[in-house]
């Protein structure tokens, strides 16, 4: 094994490069993403750099992704990317500066991601660009990189979000145009309880202890806030005549914001119009800040909101200039102050905020919002997900109805072979949905570190497969997956059977060797876990002991010599040995064997099985112990022994009952033998 891992680790990988922590066009290749620029200088306001032509005129901007977004890829780390944008809101280029994606460190060439990123040059930042299929009109679709779907989904999200936020910051993109929508019109005003149940309110509570005015947890301010344009919201909180008056004065792009407050403090303050600006409350939305002036304010001394608690103050604000997007999340920011007793007029300021998003019963988007990485992955593979689910349900049906499916050895063998063919061709070759030990490693890392559901959901077919694996391993053992559904295992078993048909002489290790080597896969799993927690990239590299990637994701002949050689060795061994990798080396199988070692329902056995060798001789995984019991960690659930269990032409007790029962008269010793056999069957 040391030689194998040495061979794999000798394969080329991306050299360790320190990721850039800040944008500096003097040392970073900004000209590659903004080719019209002859020179660059940092912007006075913001993290971007300005590109200048030969005459010193601005031609666009360059941004570093980590200054604008924190979008994690498959590795759990961001794809650090440079993005260029011109004054028309068009992306001029993008370049990946650093990544930690294991699939690109070993396996898929870097050029695949480079080619993918080049597609964004010339695209408007506000265009809808998705990876994979889309039925939405005016949508640009890009092909995924096979084997690196999560990576390119994260890259797509990174480039677009950076370009859009950069465009908003420099004023070339109207953020409100990104999420068009409309307010819902319901005839009856909602009650306070209905608004709570439907998440109509955002809520910000600041205690007196938070403010430092006392040690009490009583509220200093308890604020309920909402964008109130919708009639069933506005008329519930503002008297009908006033609501109609305020709405009638709104210009296009302006919105009503209602804030109701209670507590010992105030969100208005005693001098709330000093300078004409409210300094205690404001709204923030992404990079936009909405400050209210005295001309944007209407006092709300009381509210007609049915069932509402007693509020001590209220206000109706107007968000002007079209900068508030009601279709996106927004923050209410409260700046509280108190005397700090350092001098007569010295005050201590503390800022608090709460986020809110209008629910669909108040505001509906006219077009789908940009999907997250994992959501887009499910959209792209929805048909494959349905087909895979159907196939896995069929396998569950085979085992659930095994009294029928194992009624004869020939029947279960035909079903088994057909299932393996489908698994290899459909699940493996076509879908590329081969589970791997890397998912076990990621699960363990997430269990002790940061848990991210979106990481597991970002590969829909693998997620579905693991739901299946978890369920069937508990009930019937790991053999249902390893013996029936695993694409690589299916391929090697079919290859072994094909070799037998072609006259290739099979070979089995002696019992002394086999009994020891079958534990090797557990050692491989242990090494991988230790290595992964020591260095995740090293763990991913060592996990290449699995030949799965070379079989289904990246053609082995397109990889370096080490991967190709290892793949060919295992393939050759599979011609004359039954599943050599599965039985002796597979770390995935080892993990599943440990998990499913106490399966609920294994193959049926009789006491007679301890003295019969018929099933033992035919058990290719060599899972039947000397006493006739079956080792669930070795069993691959071919179900041949259970078919024998039901076949009166193979199982000795059944054969005896059939022969003796066919006779018209029985001698006493024969009758005694028949009764003994029946008793044996009853105890099974």
Residue 377 near residue 457, CB atoms below 8 Å: yes
pLDDT over 80 (residue 365): yes
φ and ψ at residue 3, rounded to 5 degrees:
-65, -40
Closest CA to 258 of 301, 283, 224: 224
Residue 113 to residue 159: CA distance in whole angstroms: 13
pLDDT at position 344 is 40
pLDDT confidence band for 15 (50 / 70 / 90): very low
pLDDT at position 339 is 55
Helix (H, G, I), strand (E, B), or coil: what is residue 286?
A: coil
Question: Which residue would you say has higher pLDDT here, 19 or 577?
Answer: 577
Biggest CA-to-CA distance, the chain: 118
pLDDT over 70 (residue 633): yes
Minimum mean pLDDT range among 97-111, 244-258, 655-669: 97-111
Minimum mean pLDDT range among 420-424, 483-487, 491-495, 545-549: 545-549
Residue 596 near residue 632, CB atoms below 8 Å: yes
- CA distance to 46, 49, 60, 95, per residue, from 38 (Å): 21, 13, 11, 18
pLDDT confidence band for 10 (50 / 70 / 90): very low
pLDDT confidence band for 611 (50 / 70 / 90): confident
Looking up tokens 């360790």 gives 16
Mean pLDDT (whole number) for 252-258? 93
Q: Give the up-direction half-sphere exposure of residue 542: CA atoms within 13 A in the CB hemisphere.
A: 22
pLDDT at position 401 is 92
Mean pLDDT (whole number) for 227-232? 96
Closest CA to 144 of 550, 461, 548: 461
Minimum mean pLDDT range among 224-228, 332-336, 343-347, 431-435: 343-347
* Sequence-ordered list of residues with C-beta below 8 angstroms from that of 65, at least 6 positions apart, any chain: 71, 78, 79, 80, 81, 82, 83, 158, 159, 162
Question: Which residue would you say has higher pLDDT here, 580 or 536?
Answer: 580
pLDDT confidence band for 345 (50 / 70 / 90): very low
pLDDT confidence band for 550 (50 / 70 / 90): confident
pLDDT at position 14 is 41
pLDDT at position 367 is 59
- CA distance to 34, 144, 203, 489, 605, per residue, from 484 (Å): 53, 29, 53, 8, 21
Residue 330 near residue 355, CB atoms below 8 Å: yes
Question: Which residue would you say has higher pLDDT here, 582 or 136?
Answer: 582
Minimum mean pLDDT range among 269-278, 484-493, 611-620: 269-278
pLDDT over 80 (residue 465): yes
Mean pLDDT (whole number) for 556-573? 87
Q: Where are the domains of the chain?
A: 2-178, 181-365, 381-646, 652-682
pLDDT over 80 (residue 643): yes
pLDDT at position 329 is 92
pLDDT at position 19 is 81
pLDDT at position 169 is 87
DSSP secondary structure string for all residues of 91-137: EEEEEEEE---HHHHTTS-HHHHHHHHHTTTT-BTTSEEEES---ST
pLDDT confidence band for 137 (50 / 70 / 90): low
pLDDT at position 595 is 83
Predicted TM-score (pTM) of this structure: 0.60
pLDDT at position 12 is 44
pLDDT over 60 (residue 372): yes
Residue 427 near residue 433, CB atoms below 8 Å: yes
pLDDT over 50 (residue 537): yes
Mean pLDDT of the chain: 84
Question: pLDDT for 649-664, tens place per residue?
Answer: 777 777 777 777 677 7
% the chain with pLDDT above 90: 43
Residue 630 to residue 501: CA distance in whole angstroms: 28
Question: pLDDT for 39-84, tens place per residue?
Answer: 999 998 888 999 999 888 999 999 999 998 887 777 777 889 999 9
Question: pLDDT for 112-127, tens place per residue?
Answer: 788 889 999 999 888 8
Residue 339 to residue 650: CA distance in whole angstroms: 93
Question: Which residue would you say has higher pLDDT here, 679 or 569?
Answer: 569
Mean pLDDT (whole number) for 306-330? 91
pLDDT at position 13 is 41
């Amino acid at each position: 094994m040391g030689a194998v891992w040495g061979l794999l680790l000798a394969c080329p990988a991306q050299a360790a490069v320190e990721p850039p922590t800040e944008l500096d066009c003097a040392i970073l290749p900004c000209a590659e993403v903004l080719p019209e620029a002859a020179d660059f200088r940092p912007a006075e306001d913001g993290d971007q750099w300005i590109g200048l032509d030969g005459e010193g005129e601005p031609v666009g901007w360059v941004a570093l992704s980590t200054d604008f977004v924190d979008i994690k890829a498959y590795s759990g780390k961001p794809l650090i990317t440079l993005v260029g944008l011109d004054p028309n809101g068009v992306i001029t280029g993008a370049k990946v500066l650093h990544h930690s994606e294991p699939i690109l460190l070993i396996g898929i060439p870097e050029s695949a991601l480079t080619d993918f990123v080049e597609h964004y040059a010339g695209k408007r930042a506000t265009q809808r660009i998705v990876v994979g299929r889309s039925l939405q009109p005016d949508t640009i679709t890009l092909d995924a990189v096979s084997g690196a779907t999560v990576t390119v989904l994260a890259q797509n999200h990174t480039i677009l979000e950076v370009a859009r936020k950069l465009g908003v910051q420099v004023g070339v993109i109207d953020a409100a145009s990104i999420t068009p929508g409309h307010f819902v019109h319901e005839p009856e005003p909602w009650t306070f309880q209905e608004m709570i149940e439907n998440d109509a309110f955002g809520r910000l509570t600041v205690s007196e202890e938070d403010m430092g005015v006392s040690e009490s947890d009583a509220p200093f301010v308890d604020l309920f806030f909402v964008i109130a344009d919708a009639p069933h919201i506005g008329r519930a909180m503002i008297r009908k005549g006033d609501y109609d008056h305020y709405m009638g004065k709104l210009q296009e792009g302006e919105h009503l914001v209602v804030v109701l407050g209670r507590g010992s403090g105030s969100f208005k303050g005693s001098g709330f119009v000093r300078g004409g600006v409210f300094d205690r409350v404001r709204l923030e939305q992404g990079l936009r800040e909405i400050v209210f002036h005295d001309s944007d304010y209407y006092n709300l001394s009381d509210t007609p909101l049915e069932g509402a608690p007693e509020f001590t103050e209220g206000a109706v604000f107007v968000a002007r200039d079209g900068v508030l997007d009601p279709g996106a999340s927004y923050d209410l920011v409260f700046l509280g102050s108190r005397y700090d007793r350092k001098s007569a007029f010295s005050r201590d300021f503390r800022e608090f905020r709460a986020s809110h998003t209008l629910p669909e019963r108040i505001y509906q988007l006219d077009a789908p919002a940009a999907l997250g990485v994992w959501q887009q992955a499910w959209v792209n593979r929805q048909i494959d997900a349905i087909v895979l689910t159907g196939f896995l349900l069929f396998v569950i049906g085979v085992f659930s109805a095994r009294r029928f499916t194992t009624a004869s050895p020939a029947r279960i063998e035909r079903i088994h072979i057909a299932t393996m063919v489908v698994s290899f061709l459909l699940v493996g070759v076509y879908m590329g949905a081969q589970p791997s030990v890397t998912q076990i490693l990621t699960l363990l890392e997430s269990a002790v570190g940061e848990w991210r559901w979106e990481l597991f959901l970002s590969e829909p077919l693998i997620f579905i497969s693991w739901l299946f694996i978890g369920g069937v391993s508990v009930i019937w053992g790991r053999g249902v997956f390893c013996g029936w559904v695993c694409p690589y295992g299916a391929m090697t078993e079919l290859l072994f059977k094909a070799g037998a048909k072609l006259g290739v002489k099979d070979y089995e290790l002696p019992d002394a060797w086999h009994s020891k080597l079958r534990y090797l896969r557990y050692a491989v799993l242990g090494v991988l876990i230790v290595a992964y927690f020591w260095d995740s990239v090293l763990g991913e590299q060592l996990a290449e002991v699995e030949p799965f990637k070379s079989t289904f994701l990246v053609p082995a002949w397109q990889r370096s010599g080490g991967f190709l050689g290892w793949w060919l060795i295992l393939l050759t061994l599979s011609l004359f040995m039954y599943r050599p990798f599965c039985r002796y080396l597979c770390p995935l199988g080892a993990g599943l064997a440990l998990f499913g070692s106490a399966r609920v329902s294994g193959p049926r056995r009789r006491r007679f099985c301890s003295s019969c060798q018929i099933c033992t001789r035919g058990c290719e995984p060599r899972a039947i112990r000397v006493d006739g019991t079956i080792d669930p960690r070795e069993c691959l659930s071919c179900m041949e022994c259970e078919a024998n269990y039901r076949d009166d032409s193979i199982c000795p007790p059944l054969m005896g009952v059939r022969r003796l029962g066919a006779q018209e008269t029985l001698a006493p010793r024969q009758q005694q033998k028949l009764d003994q056999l029946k008793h044996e069957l009853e105890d099974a």
